[in-house]
Structure 1
């Protein structure tokens, strides 16, 4: 009973924030879910200590990059391919998968490495090594999610839906990154 009341209050508050400050709300939600995904990824990979700096990097990326980009992308998507257009479901998915996904992945790989203090050259080499494999995995994992998201979820909740799934995606990525780092030591 108490949980239902708290959930209802939380949703009401979230909806109010979406109405009054949609960009800030989505940016903050992306920051929180990115940090949560990294935190859970650290736990799964059995890190001896929680790396709060890593969590801050993911939160910063969510706040400054993912949240705002997703907010504007979903608005633009509805304008360039309206939901009522002929073949809209497939067209919208193709726009997402071949424009937004590659761009966001590129930014993720590069900026998160830069936030770790790596040089531009090192980051560029890492992106070059990891990008294609990561993009193929992104297409495998995110294509059904984004099909549902952009065709059935109301625009104001698309970022929230994607952020919920992103928690698990980030857990997977951070676990993979830590495994790779452990092998390189």
Structure 2
């Protein structure tokens, strides 16, 4: 009973924030879920201690990049391909998969490496080496998720839905990045 009351209060508070400050709310949500994904990724890879700087990098990326980009993309998507348009479900999915997904993946690979202090040249090489494989995996994992998200989830909750799934995606990415780092050391 108490859990239901707390959950109800949390949902009401979140909805109020979405109404009064949608961009800030989505940026903060993205920051929190990105940091959580990195933290859980550290746990499953049995890191000797929690890397708070890594969590801060992911949180910063979520706050500055994915939160705002997702907010504006989902608003724009409804204008470009209205839900009532002929073939809207497929068209919306194709716009997402072939524009938004490649851009966000490119930004994440590059910016997260830059936040680690790597040079532009090093980051560009890493992106070149990892991008295609990561994009194919993104298309496999995220296509059904995004089909549901952009066609059945109300616009104001799409970022939240994607962020909740992104916790697991970030766990996967951090695990892959740590494996690559360990292999290179």
TM-score, normalized by length of structure 1? 1.00
CA–CA distance in 2 between the matches of 1:110 and 1:184? 18
CA–CA distance in 2 between the matches of 1:42 and 1:115? 18
- Pairs within 5 Å for 1:1-185: 1-185=1-185
> 4+ residue runs of structure 1 moved beyond 2 angstroms?
none
- Aligned-pair distance for 1:118? 0.2
TM-score, normalized by length of structure 2? 1.00
SS at match of 2:121: helix
CA–CA distance in 1 between the matches of 2:7 and 2:174? 29
- Aligned-pair distance for 1:61? 0.1
CA–CA distance in 2 between the matches of 1:48 and 1:101? 33
- Aligned-pair distance for 1:24? 0.1
CA–CA distance in 2 between the matches of 1:84 and 1:14? 28
- Aligned-pair distance for 1:40? 0.1
Long gaps (5+) in structure 1? none
- Aligned-pair distance for 1:183? 1.3
CA–CA distance in 2 between the matches of 1:3 and 1:20? 26
CA–CA distance in 1 between the matches of 2:91 and 2:25? 28
- Aligned-pair distance for 1:55? 0.1
CA–CA distance in 1 between the matches of 2:2 and 2:61? 34
- Aligned-pair distance for 1:72? 0.1
- Aligned-pair distance for 1:180? 1.4
Structure 1 residues 78-135: Cα deviation after superposition (integer angstroms, max 9, x where no partner): 0000000000000000000000000000000000000000000000000000000000
SS at match of 1:83: coil
Long gaps (5+) in structure 2? none
